[in-house]
Amino acid sequence: MAIIEQPLRDTRTSTGAGHPEGADPSIVAWVERLALHATPDEVVWCDGSTPERARLIRQMVDAGTLEALDPELRPGSYLARSDPDDVARVESRTFICSAREEDAGPTNNWVPPSAMRETLHGLFRGAMRGRTMYVMPFAMGPVGGPLTRYGVQVTDSPYVVLSMGTMTRMGAEALAQIGPGTEWVKCAHTVGAPLAPGQADVPWPCNKTKYISHFPETREVWSYGSAYGGNAILAKKAFALRIASAIGQDEGWLAAHMLLLKVTNPRGRVFHVAAAFPSACGKTNFAMLQPTIPGWTVETLGDDIAWLAPGPDGRLRAINPEAGFFGVAPGTGRGTNPVAMDTLTHDVVFTNVARTDDGDVWWEGMTDEAPAHLTDWLGQDWTPASSTPAAHPNSRFTVAAAQCPTISDDWDDPAGVVVDAVIFGGRRATNVPLVAQARDWEHGVFMGATLASERTAAAEGTVGELRRDPLAMLPFCGVHMADHWKHWLEVGAKADAAGGAPAIFQVNWFRKGADGRFLWPGFGENIHALAWMLDRIEGRAEGTASPFGLIPAEGEIDHAAAGVDDATWAELFGLDKAALAAEADDAQAFLDSYGDKVPEPIREGLARMRADIDEL
């Protein structure tokens, strides 16, 4: 069709003419090629400025994509309702297109790069017709920092521009860092909803067909058909985890699905902790933990992604490559996460939460009692008698990290922070104890590699189903998972040789009793587990051996202070021999699915666990 091939009408920046001065020719050429192919009506280079943000918001309010919340109650804040079919990551439509299938591994959907390129070429042709193509240069990490990486995302979704502006350091400063020879990740995104001349737009354009495609070798992401979170904010899961895991493997560092926090104990000693929990399993909450034990303070560095790299002294240092939080709304309330509530008082974009009659937001768990009337995430009337949730279970807030009252003064230190402890955790109703310490780095990587968790609403699929989620990276690993384990072992061995790899722990806040209720109060009380871990590092706690590694010895955690009685405490560490044997069998089958690629220390970890279970 002629109209699809029509040339670009207008190329201008948000302030007027041409691409920004100094834009690297490699970016300009890529953008021009894409624009000629996707045929947007115009191309706008984003500078990341406040007026630009204000313009985008105004435009989205006019288009019905955003609803302004009451400026008295929630200043500068907006509500977006997505298409009901575009509410979460789509793992079945997420592809790793490495040159060789074996580099994607059994946990990823693989399509040969040539075939995927052909598919995408077809889909992107004319895909932006009737829309604006925005060009967003961005930095992952503090601009100019030694661990920082750069990317450029194009998108035809203003909602994605707004999100990228919060989640990354986006705009002119990032662009200025990309010069000849700077590696930058190409992130191409379209909602896949071209508009014919005169055709009316919808508030949340998207397409039933979705492709979230990654080319690890050439450091590219191509995303089609969705505007939702991890499918569309390509700096986040796509770049900072999937592409970065491939870059890290080449360069000797780790891209991890981890929050990052700083904790100071009553004696004034400071620790930095990185923790990997699968999606919707407590990272944001743990990063904002308000300790219930006097004398401890926790500060926040990041809530979702950490890059861990050997520093000049060989010890592992970490940065949070992001600049904002894309957090789960349901369950967030004054009682559970007051820090998040204080972060969300202004300048927030909420997606798929409910709206109150006075122009504020609400979601399940924000308050004990629901308001008498709401407009639900679908835009329908809702009352407490309604049978469906008012907010979508994967409804989210997007907010700047700098707005968090517990943000740490070193959160944007370009050199990163030395990591003292690494934690793996999942959502496990049974078997897995509240807290355990790995015997050493290798045992810790075994713990991480065999991590399992019940599925959540963060991705399509059956909520509650148990699945192995190695290193909490199952949906986010851009390389063969077993190669990734090997890489973890190698990075740890080097850090050990340089004077000490972080100690590794495993936690489980989600164990349930026979009545189906959580045994552990969680949230602020999680400090009890964290304090024990740091006591272990300081040599103030001994621990006692278990099949999971060292668990707290009698009296090392004051569980009564957490409101947990002796019987419940025993249940939190209960060892059911038959269930654990079945667990080990399941882990075995899982490892066997990787054949002979499983590194020996991981097999040994399981063999040791089996032997320990046999002795129970």
Interaction between residue 284 and ligand GTP (CB under 6 A): yes
Site for ligand GTP in 318-337 (CB under 6 A): 327-328, 330-331, 336
Considering only the stretches 186-194, 278-286, 430-438, 594-602, report the one whose residues sit in contact with ligand GTP under the rule CB under 6 A.
278-286
Does the annotation flag 525 for ligand binding? yes
Least separation, in Å, of the C-beta of 223 and ligand OAA? 12
User: Nearest Cα to 88, choosing from 481, 475, 356?
Assistant: 475
Count how many residues are written for the chain.
Answer: 616
Which residue, 336 or 356, has its beta carbon nearer to ligand GTP?
A: 336
* Residues 482, 104: Cα–Cα separation, whole Å: 10
* Residues 189, 153: Cα–Cα separation, whole Å: 7
Which residue, 23 or 259, has its beta carbon nearer to ligand OAA?
A: 259
Residue of 206, 281, 404, 477 marked active site: 281
Does the annotation flag 279 for ligand binding? yes
What are the tokens at 399? Answer: 């907010």
Interaction between residue 458 and ligand GTP (CB under 6 A): yes
- Tell me the H-state helices in 218-306: 229-232, 244-251, 283-287
Q: CA of 119: how far to CAs of 99, 146, 343, in Å?
A: 16, 37, 42
* Residues 600, 593: Cα–Cα separation, whole Å: 15
336 touches, from ligand GTP, Mn ion, ligand OAA, none (C-beta below 5 to 8 Å by class): ligand GTP
Binding site for ligand OAA (CB under 6 A): 89, 229-230, 236-237, 279, 304, 326, 458
Does the annotation flag 494 for ligand binding? no
Which residue, 56 or 344, has its beta carbon nearer to ligand GTP?
A: 344
Concerning whether 97 is annotated as a catalytic residue, the answer is: no
DSSP labels for 68-108?
EPPTTTSTT-EEE---TT-SSB-GGGEEE--SSHHHH-TTS
Least separation, in Å, of the C-beta of 238 and ligand OAA? 9
What are the tokens at 108? Answer: 């990823």
Residues 6+ apart with CB under 8 A from 99: 113, 217
Does the annotation flag 436 for ligand binding? no
Q: Which of 108, 153, 279, 406 lies at the binding interface for ligand GTP (CB under 6 A)? A: 279
* Residues 508, 427: Cα–Cα separation, whole Å: 6
Which residue, 130 or 151, has its beta carbon nearer to ligand OAA?
A: 151
Which residue, 461 or 543, has its beta carbon nearer to ligand OAA?
A: 461
Interaction between residue 95 and ligand GTP (CB under 6 A): no
- Count of beta carbons in the 10 Å neighbourhood of residue 542: 11
* Residues 508, 549: Cα–Cα separation, whole Å: 14
- Count of beta carbons in the 10 Å neighbourhood of residue 279: 25
Least separation, in Å, of the C-beta of 344 and Mn ion? 13
532 touches, from Mn ion, ligand GTP, ligand OAA, none (C-beta below 5 to 8 Å by class): none
Does the annotation flag 228 for ligand binding? yes
Least separation, in Å, of the C-beta of 170 and ligand GTP? 20
- Count of beta carbons in the 10 Å neighbourhood of residue 27: 22
Which residue, 458 or 541, has its beta carbon nearer to ligand OAA?
A: 458
Indicate the helix (H) or strand (E) that contains 170.
Answer: strand 169-170
Which residue, 126 or 475, has its beta carbon nearer to ligand OAA?
A: 475
Q: CA of 435: how far to CAs of 292, 526, 579, 585, in Å?
A: 17, 10, 18, 22
What are the tokens at 582? Answer: 């079945």
Q: Which of 159, 239, 523, 548 lies at the binding interface for ligand GTP (CB under 6 A)? A: 523
* Residues 496, 523: Cα–Cα separation, whole Å: 32
Interaction between residue 393 and ligand GTP (CB under 6 A): no
- Per-residue binder mask for ligand GTP (CB under 6 A), 480-519, x = binder: -----------------------------xx-------x-
Q: Would you tell me which residues interact with ligand GTP (CB under 6 A)? A: 277, 279-285, 303-304, 327-328, 330-331, 336, 458, 509-510, 518, 522-523, 526
For the annotated binding site, the residues are 89, 228-230, 237, 257, 279-285, 304, 394-396, 427, 523-526
By annotation, the residues acting in catalysis are 281
For the annotated binding site for substrate, the residues are 89, 228-230, 279, 394-396
